[in-house]
Structure 1
Amino acid sequence: MSSQTRRFEGYGVLITGAARGIGEATARRLAAEGARVMVTDLDAERAAKTAKDIAGADSTGCDVGDRAAVEAAVGHAVERFGALDVLVNNAFSCSPDTPLLEDQPDETWGRDLDTTLTGAFRCARAALPHLAASGRGAIVNIGSVNAEQDFGNHAYSAAKAGLASLTRTLAGDAAPRGVRVNQVNPGTVRTPSWAGREARLDALARVYPLGRVGEPEDIAAAVAFLASRDAAWITGTTLRVDGGLLAVNTSFADVVEDG
C-alpha cells in the first residue's frame, strides 16, 4: 500500500472471529493500511498464529458468548494500542437445519443467535466508550445475504437479520457520540469452511451475475471503506457485497432465455 492509501495509520482495531476467512482478510487489509489490529478468536492458538504473520498485530482468545471475555479482549486492545478506533464484529455460528423445523433443538438455535447477534451486542457494549473517546470510532458488522432472502439456516439467518436491525438502532444511539455503525452483507465467499466442497462453489458461481463467488478480500475491501473516513457521512447502512445475487435473478433469467 502506498502512503496515500494508509487510511488507518495509528488506528487501533479489534476484529472478532479473525483467525481465518473474512476476519483474517480484514485484519490483513486494515493492517496493510496502517492499523494496529487485535486478532481475536475463540481459537486463541489459531489467532496467535494469524497475528504473527501480520505486521503490528496482536492477538487474544475471545469467546463472544462470555461478557467477561469480551471486556477483557477490549481492555487488552486499548492497553496494547492506547485507544480503540474500529470494531469489526465478524464472529458467528451457523448450525445446519434439521430436516423438519420441529426437530430443531433449542441448543443450536440459541448458540447461533447468542454468538452471531448477542455476541456483536456484547462487543459493541464493551467497545463503545472507547470508540467514542477516539473521535473517529466506527463499528462494522459482518452480516449476510441470508438476512434479506431465504437461503436456509433458520437460526443463522434470523441472527443476521437481527444484526441488521441492531446496526440501525445502534447507529442512532452512537451517532451523537461520533461513532458510526454499518454492516456488510456478503454473498457466498470462498472461506476455509468450504474446504472439500469446491465443486459446490463452482456450481454456485453460475447463479451469481458477476460469474464467481466472493473472496475474503472482497469483503475486507468493503469493511475498510466503511471503517475509514472515506465513509465519514455514512451510518446505519447495510452494504451488499454479493456479486449482484440479490439484485438479479440469474437462474430465472436463464430459464426464460432457454424457453
Structure 2
Amino acid sequence: MTDITRFSGHTVMITGAARGIGAATARRFAEEGARVLLTDRDGPEVETTAARLRKQGHTARARACDVSDGASVEEAVAHAVDVFGALDVLVNCAASCTPDTPLFEDGPDAAWDRDLDITLTGTYRCCRAALPHLATTGRGAIVNIGSVNGLQDFGNHAYSAAKAGLGSLTRTLAGHAAARGVRVNLVTPGTVRTSAWEGREEELDEIRSLYPLGRVGEPEDIAAAVAFLASGDAAWITGTALTVDGGLTAVNTGFRTAVRHPDDD
C-alpha cells in the first residue's frame, strides 16, 4: 500500500488486468488515487479483480475486452471516457505466449498469428483508439509492457518477436504523439511470479540463481515502474524502455560463476 496520490483525478485503462502484472498495476494506480478501468478477455475474472478494489474503497470498473477485436477495443475506450469523463493513461498488458514446438519448422501459422495479433497488434489497436482521448488531457501517457524476450534469446519465437516489435512501436509512436502532448514508454520485465508459473516452483527456484539481485520479480515490481513512467515524475521521458529485470540482461551471472577469480577460493 502506498500513500502517494500522483494520480488523483486521473483515469487509467489497463488491458490484461484480470490477474498478474495487469491486476497489480490496476491496484497500484487505484492506491495512488486513479479511477481505473480494468479490461480483460476474461470478463468474470476481471470483474472479480475490480470488485476487490472497490471493496478496498477504490474507484474501479471492469469491462470485457478482446484486444484482437478492434470493435471491442473501441467500445472499451469509449466506456472509460463515458464513465469517467476522460482518459489520461493507457497501460497495455494483454499478451499471448504460445509454447514453441521442438522444431522451429513445425510451428503452426495459427500460433504465430495469435501471439503477434494479441501482443503487438492488440497494443496497436488500443493505442489507436485511445490516443485522441489521451491527447485532450494535457497529461496523456501510454505505457506498454514488453519483455526481456524482446532483447535476448529466452525462447518463444512468436512472443519474443511481438515483444521486440513493441519496442519499435513505442519509439515510433512516441515520436508521433509528442507533439500531441502524449508520452509513450515501455517497461521490459524479466521473469515475474504470476499464475503462468503455478506448479513450477522448482523451476522458479532454479531461475532465481540467474538473477544478480537474487530473486525473480513480483507483479508489484513492474506496477511500480509503470506508475513512475505514467506519472508527472517522468514528465521529460518518452520513447524509452525501462528494463526491470533484477540485472538479468546486464550481468551474465552464469559466466561470472563459471569464470571465478583465483582469489575467490
Normalising by the smaller structure, the TM-score range is over 0.9
Structure 1 match to 2:181: 178
Instruction: Detail structure 1 runs of 4+ shifted over 2 Å in the superposition.
Output: none
Shift of 1:258: 8.2
Structure 2 match to 1:250: 253
For residues 31 and 251 of structure 1, the distance between their equivalents in structure 2, rounded to whole angstroms, comes to 39
Q: Aligned match of 2:95 in 85, 88, 92?
A: 92
Task: Work out whether 1:51 is the aligned partner of 2:50.
Answer: yes
Q: Aligned match of 1:236 in 234, 239, 243?
A: 239
For residues 81 and 254 of structure 2, the distance between their equivalents in structure 1, rounded to whole angstroms, comes to 48
Render the CA deviation track for 1:145-174: whole Å, top value 9, x for unaligned.
000000000000000000000000000010
Q: Aligned match of 2:158 in 155, 158, 164?
A: 155
Task: Work out whether 1:25 is the aligned partner of 2:28.
Answer: no
Structure 1 match to 2:140: 137
For residues 258 and 235 of structure 1, the distance between their equivalents in structure 2, rounded to whole angstroms, comes to 41
For residues 144 and 15 of structure 1, the distance between their equivalents in structure 2, rounded to whole angstroms, comes to 17
For residues 92 and 79 of structure 2, the distance between their equivalents in structure 1, rounded to whole angstroms, comes to 17
Structure 2 match to 1:41: 40
Q: TM-score, normalised by structure 1?
A: 0.98
The residue type paired with residue 38 of structure 1 is L
Structure 2 match to 1:222: 225
Q: Aligned match of 1:113 in 113, 116, 119?
A: 116
Render the CA deviation track for 1:52-73: whole Å, top value 9, x for unaligned.
0111000000000000000000
For residues 69 and 134 of structure 1, the distance between their equivalents in structure 2, rounded to whole angstroms, comes to 23
| Secondary structure of the corresponding residue to residue 243 of structure 2 | strand
Percent identical = 70
The residue type paired with residue 25 of structure 1 is A
Structure 1 match to 2:106: 103
Render the CA deviation track for 1:41-91: whole Å, top value 9, x for unaligned.
000000000000111000000000000000000000111110000000000
For residues 76 and 17 of structure 1, the distance between their equivalents in structure 2, rounded to whole angstroms, comes to 16
Q: Aligned match of 1:202 in 195, 202, 205?
A: 205
Render the CA deviation track for 1:111-153: whole Å, top value 9, x for unaligned.
0000000000000000000000111000000000000000000
For residues 73 and 237 of structure 1, the distance between their equivalents in structure 2, rounded to whole angstroms, comes to 27
Task: Work out whether 1:76 is the aligned partner of 2:76.
Answer: no
| Secondary structure of the corresponding residue to residue 167 of structure 1 | helix
For residues 229 and 79 of structure 1, the distance between their equivalents in structure 2, rounded to whole angstroms, comes to 24
How many matched pairs?
Answer: 257
For residues 34 and 157 of structure 1, the distance between their equivalents in structure 2, rounded to whole angstroms, comes to 34
Structure 1's unaligned 5+ residue stretches are none
Render the CA deviation track for 1:88-112: whole Å, top value 9, x for unaligned.
0000000000011110000000000
For residues 76 and 46 of structure 1, the distance between their equivalents in structure 2, rounded to whole angstroms, comes to 18
Render the CA deviation track for 1:210-249: whole Å, top value 9, x for unaligned.
0000000000000000000000000000000000000000
The residue type paired with residue 107 of structure 2 is Q
| Secondary structure of the corresponding residue to residue 134 of structure 1 | coil
The residue type paired with residue 114 of structure 2 is R
For residues 81 and 203 of structure 1, the distance between their equivalents in structure 2, rounded to whole angstroms, comes to 45
| Secondary structure of the corresponding residue to residue 185 of structure 1 | strand
Q: TM-score, normalised by structure 2?
A: 0.96
